[in-house]
């Protein structure tokens, strides 16, 4: 033991604690604010790794949960080269991730606000004609004329979110011009600039995955495997890894199989759909789409419809 203690989170306090200690191997628990500490400690000349939260079971399952004990366990695992780590993308990729994930969050917030407004309309038994969109400019004027306090409140928030979404969409379009990978990915029908940025920000450098099976696993698009003796059983997909990557692949696959029926991905989808149904087929199509994306990024080649 060289040094032990509690460190305030301010930069000068961290620099003071680590003064005189050079070229350390440092382990951090993955947390919401890990990037701040990761970048700061890297700038001080130390090598930093981030512990994988799901795989570091010794800490998660500990009977006695204390920061001091957790830190000791992390240090011991790192010292023995036994620490399961998480991939930390380069700063530029992390910034891109935050951009597209913020866009995703705003889109989902807008969706929840729509549901709340429609719920209030049903509660008051106010019916809109079938096919009429109450969220167009004309539709929103109609909602305001109802003079419903709850709807007016939700609508005010909805309009603010819409304005922020427009700003984010402009930022997304501008970001899309900076990456060659985005131009490659948009050669696939069903993937636009926004979808391409989500995929690229989550995968990054495709060469970090030695095999396609590893990128499938990263997206959580592989089945769970249960083994008893010589028998193996395959269950639902693991849904581990990047939930954003998995979500956008499924959404892109839905559009692709509709508008590009001659591609190998669409043909694979139709084959699985006949045998096992639409839900399993669309997951299989998303995996097939990811396979194409993996090799496109790895070899820097555009999409070819024949595979």
Tokens of 290: 């990811």
Q: Enumerate residues 6+ apart whose C-beta is below 8 A from 177.
A: none
Query: What is the DSSP code (8-state) at residue 271?
Result: H
User: Residue 130: is its pLDDT beyond 60?
Assistant: no
Cβ atoms 24, 30 nearer than 8 A: no
Q: Which residue has the higher pLDDT, 307 or 286?
A: 286
- pLDDT at residue 55, as a whole number: 74
- pLDDT at residue 24, as a whole number: 95
Instruction: Give one DSSP letter per residue of 227-259, joined into a string.
Output: EETTEEEEEEE---S-HHHHHHHHHHHHHHHHH
Residue range 81-104, pLDDT digits in tens: 989 898 899 999 999 999 999 999
Long-range CB pairs of 218-224, under 8 A, 24+ apart, other chains included: 218/242, 218/245, 219/245, 219/246, 219/249, 219/287, 219/290, 220/246, 221/246, 221/249, 221/283, 221/286, 221/287, 221/290
Residue indicated by tokens 């940025």: 197
Cβ atoms 289, 264 nearer than 8 A: no
Q: List the one residue out of 239, 224, 120 whose CA is nearest residue 112.
A: 120
- pLDDT band with cut points at 50, 70 and 90 for residue 2: confident
pTM: 0.86
Q: How far apart are the C-alpha atoms of 100 and 107, rounded to whole Å? A: 11
Q: Domain locations in the chain?
A: 11-86, 91-178, 183-299
């Amino acid at each position: 033991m060289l040094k032990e203690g509690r460190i305030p989170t301010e930069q000068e306090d961290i620099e003071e604690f680590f003064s005189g200690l050079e070229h350390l191997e440092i382990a951090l628990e993955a947390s919401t604010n890990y990037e701040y500490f990761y970048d700061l400690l890297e700038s001080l000349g130390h090598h930093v790794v981030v512990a994988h939260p799901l795989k570091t079971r010794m800490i998660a399952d500990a009977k006695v949960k204390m920061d001091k004990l957790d830190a000791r366990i992390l240090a011991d695992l790192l010292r023995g080269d036994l620490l399961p780590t998480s991939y930390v993308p380069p700063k530029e990729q992390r910034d891109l991730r935050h951009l597209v994930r913020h866009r995703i969050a705003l889109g989902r917030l807008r969706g929840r606000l729509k549901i709340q407004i429609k719920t209030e309309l049903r509660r008051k038994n106010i019916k809109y004609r079938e096919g009429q969109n109450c969220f167009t400019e004309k539709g929103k004027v109609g909602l305001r004329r109802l003079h419903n306090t709850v709807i007016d409140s939700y609508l005010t928030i909805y309009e603010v979110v819409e304005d922020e979404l427009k700003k984010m969409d402009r930022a997304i379009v501008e970001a899309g011009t900076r990456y060659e990978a985005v131009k490659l990915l948009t050669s696939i029908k069903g993937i636009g600039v926004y979808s391409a940025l989500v995929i690229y920000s989550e995968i990054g450098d495709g060469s970090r995955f030695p095999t396609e099976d590893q990128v499938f696993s990263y997206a959580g698009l592989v089945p769970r495997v249960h083994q008893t003796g010589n028998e193996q059983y395959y269950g639902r997909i693991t849904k581990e890894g990047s939930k954003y990557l998995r979500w956008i692949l499924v959404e892109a696959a839905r559009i692709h199989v509709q508008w590009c029926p001659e591609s190998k991905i669409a043909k694979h989808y139709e084959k699985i759909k006949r045998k096992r149904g639409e839900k399993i087929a669309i997951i299989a199509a998303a995996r097939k789409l990811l396979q194409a994306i993996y090799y496109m990024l790895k070899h820097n080649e555009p999409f070819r419809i024949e595979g």
